[in-house]
Amino acid sequence: MSNLTKQRLCWSVTLFKASRFRYFPKAAWLAMPGGIGMQLSEPELEFMHVHKTGALIRASVQLGALCGNPGAVDLDALDRFAKVAGLGFQVVDDLLDAQSSTATLGKTAGKDASDNKPTYVSVLGLERTRELATELHQEALGVLGQLPGGGARLGDIAGFIFQRNF
């Protein structure tokens, strides 16, 4: 098997793992419309989001890394960064839905609460959710600090994820 064939196979496996959320029974069950109104614990909420939006962000980072020649330590750090950034994306999304305007968001603000969807704000409250977003941002940047060059471009992406207002 040629190196290019091996690389394409690796990319395919990475994409498959990220997209298999629909086939991952517990995460799929938690996210289904029937899950609206359910009271989820923080670990259940994290599980659901790590296997949805988080999986896609992780795949994006992994595929970018695989285009280079990363070492195993770098891949582990990049995966940790991507997991934290993916979770952070959802935490910030929940905050924005709870405290932004429809005009700012470009979608109906407060829809998660009105639809009785389980969110970080509904599970932890607004203040603790803000603290969690800050903690995740700091953790993501800390992980990047372990990489050669500090992962500056990924740091910019983390800044966008955690500091966005839409």
- How does pLDDT run across 10-51, given as a tens digit for each residue? 777 777 777 665 545 555 555 555 456 778 899 989 988 888
Give the tens place of pLDDT for each residue, 52-100. Answer: 888 889 888 988 888 877 787 788 999 999 999 999 999 999 999 999 9
Q: What are φ and ψ of residue 115, in 5° steps?
A: -90, 0
DSSP 56: H
pLDDT at 23: 44
Q: State pTM to two decimals.
A: 0.84
Tokens 């991507």 label which residue?
82
The H or E element spanning position 19 is helix 3-19
Q: Evaluate if residue 155 carries a pLDDT over 90.
A: yes
Contacts of 105 (CB under 8 A, 6+ apart): 96, 97, 166
Which two tokens mark 120? 């970080």
Please name the residue that has the structure tokens 């997209």: 19
pLDDT of residue 27: 52
pLDDT value for 113 = 92
Domain 3-163 class in CATH: mainly alpha
Q: Which residue has the higher pLDDT, 9 or 22?
A: 9
Instruction: Please enumerate in sequence order all residues whose Cβ is within 8 A of that of 49, keeping only pairs 6 or more positions apart, or say none.
Output: 86, 87, 90
What confidence score (pLDDT) does residue 164 get? 96
**CA distances (Å), 26 to each of 57, 65, 136, 155, 157, in order?**
20, 29, 24, 32, 29
Higher pLDDT, 54 or 7: 54
